Amino acid sequence: MMSASFFLIAAVAVTFAGVSKGGFGSGAAFAAGAILATVIDPGMAIGIMLPLLMLMDVTSLKPYWGKWRALDSVLMILGGLPGVAIGAWLYTKVDADFFRILIGVIAILFVLWQGAQRLGWLSPPKRALPDWAGLLAGAIAGFTSFISHAGGPPAAVYLLSKRPTKTEYQASTVIIFWAINWAKVIPYTALGLFSWDTLKIDLMLSPFAVLGVYLGVKGHNWISETWFFRLTYVLLLVTGGRLIWVAAT
């Protein structure tokens, strides 16, 4: 499985995820898992990505430590736990092709959601959302994070309603998904998504995870968000379309 072509694809995808985690709100990090799911089993893809995302979380914690919105972060973490449980239950009920379609749909919806925001069709709520909305957003983020590590959009809707600074937003996503990713470890282990093979791949890819976060933290203030997300949208449209096509055919 660890062919030269797979390693090259995985190294680029993991570095890209690290850049997103380190400097751009974590929202695009799930693209790495979606890309891997086009070349290997979706369960194996998300199993490979989780330890790497957790490594990125730890690497990102120090520069953003204590800069998050505490109450909002706690609400989303508490809401995320039942979301993770629902994702684990669903995984036991469906096959790999269903997950390919689900990951593909999530990828394309992410692009449509971002595009609607850029065009002004959608905008953050004019008033701060209530606390119960943080729990709900956390539950949705926990579910989509379990399925494809794609918890960014629901987190963004809630957090942006609070009008955080750029750094508060970034720090909040770091601590929220650090906690949610730890919550995913037990069900991922129980479902057999980790193996010695996936862990060996993780060890080989870990330098690229750290490199990506370093580049993201350094680029937080000088890399153009516009061009970063344009690249993300292209990757997700192509990846999402391919996943759906493979599952359907």
37-96: pLDDT as tens digits: 888 888 899 999 999 988 888 877 888 888 889 999 999 999 999 999 999 999 999 888
Phi, psi of 231 (to 5 degrees): -60, -40
Please, which residues have CB within 8 angstroms of residue 29's CB and are 6 or more apart in sequence?
17, 18, 20, 21, 53, 56, 149, 152
| pLDDT score for 152 | 80
Q: Could you tell me what percentage of the chain is helix, strand and coil, using 3-state DSSP and rounding each to the nearest 5?
A: 80, 0, 20
Say if residues 176 and 155 touch (Cβ distance below 8 Å). Answer: yes
Mean pLDDT of 162-166: 85
Once rounded to an integer, what is the mean pLDDT over residues 181-210?
92
Residue 123 has pLDDT above 80, yes or no: no
DSSP conformation class of 3: -
- The predicted model gives 130-142 an average pLDDT of 93
pLDDT at 58: 83
What are the distances in angstroms from CA 92 to CA 14, 50, 182, 246?
A: 27, 18, 20, 21
The candidate with the shortest Cα–Cα distance to 148, out of 9, 42, 38, 69, is 42
Compute the distance between CA of residue 139 and CA of residue 4 in angstroms, rounded to an integer: 38
Domain range list for the chain: 4-248
How confident is the model at residue 133, as a pLDDT?
92
**DSSP letter assigned to residue 223:** S
The whole-number pLDDT of residue 16 equals 83
Average pLDDT, the chain: 85
In this structure, is the dihedral angle defined by the CA atoms of residues 30, 33, 39 and 43, taken in order, positive or negative?
negative
Residues 6+ apart with CB under 8 A from 14: 32, 49, 52, 205, 208, 209, 212
pLDDT at 30: 76
pTM reported for the whole predicted model: 0.82
Give helix 152-161 / helix 131-148 axis angle, nearest 10°.
160
pLDDT at 225: 66
Cβ neighbour number for residue 104 with a 10 Å cutoff: 26
Position 124 pLDDT exceeds 70: no
| pLDDT of 26 strictly over 60 | no
The confidence score (pLDDT) of residue 185 equals 94
Structure tokens at 249: 């055919």
Most confident of 162-171, 189-198, 225-234: 189-198
* Whether the Cβ atoms of residue 140 and residue 154 lie closer than 8 Å to each other: yes
Q: 3-state class of 44 per DSSP?
A: helix
**135 — pLDDT class (breaks 50, 70, 90):** very high
Q: Count of CB atoms within 10 A of residue 62's CB? A: 9
Separation between Cα atoms, residue 83 and residue 124, nearest integer Å = 23
